[in-house]
């Protein structure tokens, strides 16, 4: 089961109109979550210069043409300081509710954690999702045992008057930095990403009986006295290519997409991928069984079959090729 950060049980956020850097500690309904003496102020710590995002320059005409925002715009969380975020995680005693197996953190006296484990969450969740879960814990309720209280809402208490905007950003940066360990999303046997031409291409292959355990069988890949087990033949899986515009992240429909499968001792095979919609949204896909030791996938994306207006004539009109090495670890 994929773990989520929605129950950061000792963390809250105040987006105050005045961006102060002073931590103000308020009384909380849960014991062990306060910092310092209630009603007092901690010693202010001068903020370190935070990294900045490169500005995106647009014309007023573009804003009006796209409904008041740049094409493909979404809210981006400004960078924070992960080191300071780790210090805040300790200071708020978040480890009393959340285990992170890759970090050296104290363990609750009873050995029980009230919230979900956060190991590897930065690899699984985008920055904006993590940021929202801290700012508004009830924005998404994970319908799993232990994630909610008797009222059906998140167990995370409110710290609406406790953190500054900068502290929020630092905490998000720390949680996003947790990329080691944890479980992989179920059903994603192979996943690779490449940026080519006008596109960002994310390729996912999920075998019907694949649970993220590589090529090994139920016995861990070994039979008898250490002899390698024969390759396990998968039932038909699903190959998916999520093709989005490089700059905006918008999905691009009506592209001719094909994939050539390369494997040792096997003839090359070319597969045509069709437009489809699944749990992950729009993608180009095909039901296919990849060989256990497939070494490479070569995707060819042709120019769009749609009429392209002059304002977009420089985009999505050139064929590109993306090569994915399946034998190398995912980056």
Report the half-sphere exposure of 238 (CA within 13 A, side-chain side).
Answer: 17
Higher pLDDT, 18 or 322: 322
Which residues on adjacent β-strands are paired with residue 325?
A: 296
pLDDT of residue 294: 66
Pick the more confident residue, 227 or 324.
Answer: 324
CA 211-263-244 angle, 5° bins: 65
Report, as an integer, the average pLDDT of 145-170: 84
Nearest to 304 by CA among 252, 249, 247, 260: 252
Task: Please write down the long-range contacts of 103-111, taking CB distance under 8 Å and 24 or more positions apart.
Answer: 103/178
Write down the mean pLDDT value for the chain: 75
- The lowest-confidence range among 29-43, 163-177, 297-311 is 29-43
pLDDT of residue 18: 34
Residues listed for the chain: 331
Quote the tokens at residue 141: 């309720």
pLDDT at 322 over 90: yes
Is the pLDDT at 118 greater than 80? The verdict is yes
Structure tokens at 305: 């079959």
Winning range, highest mean pLDDT, from 74-88, 169-183, 188-202, 264-278 = 74-88
Per-residue model confidence (pLDDT) at position 51: 57
Q: What confidence tier does 326 reach under pLDDT thresholds 50, 70, 90?
A: confident
- Work out the pLDDT band at 279, boundaries 50, 70, 90: confident
Residue ranges matching CATH 2.60.40.2480 in the chain? 190-325
pLDDT tens digits, residue range 50-71?
A: 556 778 888 998 898 888 988 7
**For residue 207, what pLDDT is reported?**
72
Mean pLDDT of the 290-314 span: 83
- Residue 89 pLDDT greater than 80, yes or no: yes
- Residue 34, classified by CB atoms within 10 Å of its CB into exposed (0-12), middle (13-18) or buried (19+), is middle
Over residues 222-250, the mean pLDDT reads: 67
Between 263 and 158, name the one with better pLDDT: 263
pLDDT for the residue 241: 95
Which CATH superfamily is 190-325 part of?
Answer: Periplasmic metal-binding protein Tp34-type (2.60.40.2480)
Radius of gyration (C-alpha) of the chain in whole angstroms? 24
What is the distance between the alpha carbons of residues 11 and 14, in angstroms, rounded to a whole number?
Answer: 11
Lowest mean pLDDT among 61-70, 118-127, 175-184, 193-202: 175-184
Residues 199-228: what's their mean pLDDT? 55
Q: Kindly report the pTM of this predicted structure.
A: 0.59
Tokens representing 51 are 């990294």
pLDDT grade, residue 183 (50/70/90)?
Answer: low
pLDDT at 9 over 50: no
Q: How far is the C-alpha of 313 from the C-alpha of 301, rounded, in Å?
A: 17
């Amino acid at each position: 089961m994929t773990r989520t950060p929605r129950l950061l049980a000792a963390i809250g956020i105040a987006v105050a109109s005045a961006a102060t850097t002073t931590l103000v500690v308020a009384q909380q309904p849960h014991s062990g979550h306060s910092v310092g003496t209630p009603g007092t102020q901690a010693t202010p710590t001068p903020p370190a210069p935070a990294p900045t995002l490169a500005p995106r320059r647009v014309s007023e005409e573009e804003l009006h043409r796209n409904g008041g925002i740049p094409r493909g715009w979404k809210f981006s969380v400004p960078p924070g300081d992960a080191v300071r975020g780790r210090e805040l995680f300790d200071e708020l005693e978040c480890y009393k509710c959340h285990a992170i197996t890759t970090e050296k953190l104290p363990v609750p006296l009873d050995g029980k954690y009230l919230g979900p484990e956060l190991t590897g969450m930065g690899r699984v969740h985008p920055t904006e999702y993590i940021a929202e879960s801290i700012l508004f814990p009830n924005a998404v309720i994970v319908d799993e045992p232990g994630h909610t209280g008797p009222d059906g809402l998140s167990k995370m208490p409110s710290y609406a008057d406790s953190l500054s905007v900068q502290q929020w950003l630092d905490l998000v940066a720390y949680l996003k930095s947790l990329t080691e360990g944890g479980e992989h999303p179920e059903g994603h046997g192979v996943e690779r990403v490449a940026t080519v031409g006008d596109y960002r291409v994310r390729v996912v292959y999920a075998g019907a009986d694949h649970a993220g355990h590589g090529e090994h069988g139920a016995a861990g890949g070994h039979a008898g006295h250490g002899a390698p087990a024969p390759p396990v033949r998968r039932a038909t899986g699903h190959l998916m290519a999520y093709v989005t515009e490089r700059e905006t992240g918008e999905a691009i429909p009506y592209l001719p997409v094909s994939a050539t499968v390369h494997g040792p001792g096997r003839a090359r095979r070319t597969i045509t991928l069709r437009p489809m919609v699944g749990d992950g949204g729009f993608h180009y896909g095909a039901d296919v069984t990849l060989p256990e030791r497939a070494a490479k996938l070569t995707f060819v994306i042709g120019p769009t079959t749609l009429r392209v207006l002059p304002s977009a004539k420089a985009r999505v009109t050139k064929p590109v090729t993306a090569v994915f090495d399946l034998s190398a670890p995912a980056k």
